Amino acid sequence: MIKNGLLWVVFVLMTASSLAQKPAIERPDPRKTTKVKDTTRVSLPIDSLFKAKLDAPTAKDTAFGKTAKKVIPKTFYNVLFRDIDRHIDSGQVAQMEQNPHLPFAGRWIREIHIHSLDVFGYSVHDTLQVPGNWTERTGNKLHRSTRERTILRNYLFFEEGDVIDPEKMRDNERYLRQQGIFHDARIVIVPFRNAKDAVDVHVYTQDLWSLLPDGSASNFDNFTIGIEQRNFRGLGQSFKNTVSYNGRDERQRLEYAGRYFIPSFGKTFVAGEGILNVQRDQKQLSFKAYRPFLTPQMKYAGAIELGYYNRRLFEFTLDSLTGRSVRNYFWSQYVLFDAWMGRSFRIFFGDDKLRERARFVVALRHTRQSFYNRDRSVTDSTNQLFQNTRPTLLSIGYSNRRYQRDLLIYGFGRTEDVPVGDLVSFVYGSDPAELGDRKYIGLKYSRARYIKIGYLYNLTNIGTYIKDGATEQGVFSTENNYFTPLHRFGGEWYARHFINLKFAWGFNRFANEYFNISGNEGIRGISSDELRGTRKLVIGAETVFFSPLNFLGFRVAPFTFADLGWTAFSGQYLFRNKPFAGYGLGFRFRNENLTFTTFQVRLSIYSGIPDIGQPFRANFDGVPPLRFRDFDISAPEIVQFK
The string of pLDDT tens digits covering residues 253-270 is 999 999 999 999 989 999
Q: What is the pLDDT of residue 552?
A: 72
Same domain, 196 and 289: no
Q: What is the distance, to the nearest Å, from the Cα of residue 293 to the centroid of all Cα atoms in its chain?
A: 17
Q: Is the pLDDT of residue 7 over 60?
A: no
Cβ count within 10 A of residue 318: 9
Give residue 591's pLDDT. Answer: 79
Report residue 319: phi and psi, to 5°.
Answer: -75, 120
CB-based contacts of 401: which residues, under 8 Å, 6+ apart? Answer: 296, 357, 419, 420, 421, 423, 630, 631, 632
Q: Are residues 158 and 291 in the same domain?
A: no
Quick one: pLDDT at residue 70? 47
End residue of a domain, out of 188, 207, 226 = 207
Task: Give the range among 14-23, 212-221, 372-381, 440-449 with minimum mean pLDDT.
Answer: 14-23
180 and 285 inside one domain: no
pLDDT computed for residue 625 by the predictor: 67
Whichever domain contains 161, its CATH number is: 3.10.20.310
Query: Minimal CA–CA distance to 344: which of 270, 288, 294?
Result: 294
Strand ranges (DSSP E) for 521-615?
532-533, 535-546, 550-551, 554-568, 580-590, 598-607
Residue 47 predicted with pLDDT over 70 = no
State whether 185 and 297 are in the same domain. no
Written in H, E and C, the secondary structure of 436-480 is: EEEEEEEEEEEEEEEECCEEEEEEEEEEEEEECCEEEEEEEEEEE
CA distance 367 to 526: 35
**Predicted confidence (pLDDT) per residue in 384-427, tens digit:** 889 999 999 999 999 999 999 888 998 887 888 899 999 999 99
Quick one: average pLDDT of 334-356? 92
pLDDT of residue 33: 41
Q: What's the CA gap between 342 and 397, in Å, rounded?
A: 11
The pLDDT confidence band at residue 325, using thresholds 50, 70 and 90, is confident
Give the H or E element holding residue 92.
helix 90-94
Going by DSSP bridges, is the β-strand pair 325-346/300-318 parallel, antiparallel, or unpaired?
Answer: antiparallel
pLDDT (0 to 100) of residue 320: 67
**Is residue 239 domain-resident?**
no
- Give the range among 34-43, 282-291, 347-356, 456-465 with minimum mean pLDDT: 34-43
In a domain? residue 260? no
Residues 195 and 286 reside in one and the same domain: no
Model-level pTM?
0.80
Q: Is residue 15 part of a domain?
A: no
Mean pLDDT calculated for residue range 560-570: 94
Q: Are residues 316 and 185 in the same domain?
A: no
Q: Looking at the domain assignment, is residue 222 inside a domain? A: no
Q: Are 85 and 408 in contact (CB under 8 A)?
A: no
Q: Which of 175, 207, 239 is the C-terminal boundary of a domain?
A: 207
pLDDT at 503 over 90: yes
Confidence label for 328 from pLDDT (cuts 50, 70 and 90): confident
**201 and 285 within one domain:** no
| Top-confidence range, 48-57, 222-231, 389-398, 609-618 | 389-398
Residue pair 144/119 in contact (Cβ under 8 Å)? The answer is no
- Cα Rg of the chain (Å, integer): 26
Report how far residue 159's alpha carbon sits from residue 175's, in angstroms, rounded to the nearest whole number: 16
Residue after which a domain boundary falls, among 187, 207, 227: 207
pLDDT value, residue 548: 87
For every residue of 480-530, which 3-state class applies, written as one string?
EEEECCCEEECCCEEEEEEEEEEEEEEECCCCCCCEECEHHHCECCCCCCC
* pLDDT > 70 fraction of the chain, expressed in percent and rounded: 84
For the chain, the domain total comes to 2
Same domain for 171 and 303: no
Domain of 73 in residue numbering reads as: 31-38+48-207
3-state secondary structure 321-335: CCCCEEEEEEEEEEE
Residues 177 and 293 grouped into a single domain? no
Residue 372 located in a structural domain = yes
- pLDDT tens digits, one per residue of 73-129: 544 444 444 444 443 444 444 445 578 899 999 999 999 999 999 988 888 887 788
Question: From the CB of residue 175, how many other CB atoms can be counted at a distance below 10 Å?
Answer: 19
What pLDDT does residue 323 have? 66
pLDDT confidence bin for 597, thresholds 50/70/90:
low
pLDDT of residue 97: 59
Nearest Cα residue to 184 out of 234, 230, 119, 112: 119
d(CA 593, CA 83): 12
Residue 454 sits in a domain whose CATH number is: 2.40.160
Q: Distance between CA 485 and CA 409 in Å, rounded?
A: 10
Give strand ranges (E) for 254-387.
Answer: 254-262, 271-278, 282-291, 300-318, 325-346, 358-372
pLDDT at 137: 86
Coil, strand or helix at 624:
coil
Pairing of strands 532-533, 515-516: antiparallel
Tell me: pLDDT of 48 over 50: no
User: Are 95 and 196 found together in one domain?
Assistant: yes
Residue 186, in any domain of the structure: yes
How much is the pLDDT for 595? Answer: 66
Q: What does the longest C-alpha to C-alpha distance in the chain come to?
A: 89
Is the domain of 197 the same as that of 315?
no
Does residue 2 form part of some domain? no
Q: What is d(CA 600, CA 134) in angstroms, rounded to the nearest whole number?
A: 28
pLDDT of residue 136: 83
Whether residue 560 sits in one domain with residue 439: yes
What is the distance between the alpha carbons of residues 417 and 357, in angstroms, rounded to a whole number?
A: 16
Question: Alpha-carbon distance 395 to 387, whole Å?
Answer: 24
Cβ-Cβ contacts under 8 Å for 134 (sequence gap 6 or more): none
Please tell me the predicted confidence (pLDDT) of residue 623.
Answer: 76
Residue 491: is its pLDDT beyond 80?
no
**Is residue 4 situated within a structural domain?**
no
> Is the distance from CB of 358 to CB of 365 less than 8 angstroms?
no
Q: What secondary structure letter does DSSP report for 639? A: P
Residue 84: Cβ within 10 Å count: 21
pLDDT exceeds 50 at position 600: yes
Please state, in angstroms and rounded to a whole number, the distance separating the CA atoms of residues 640 and 462: 10
pLDDT of residue 560: 97
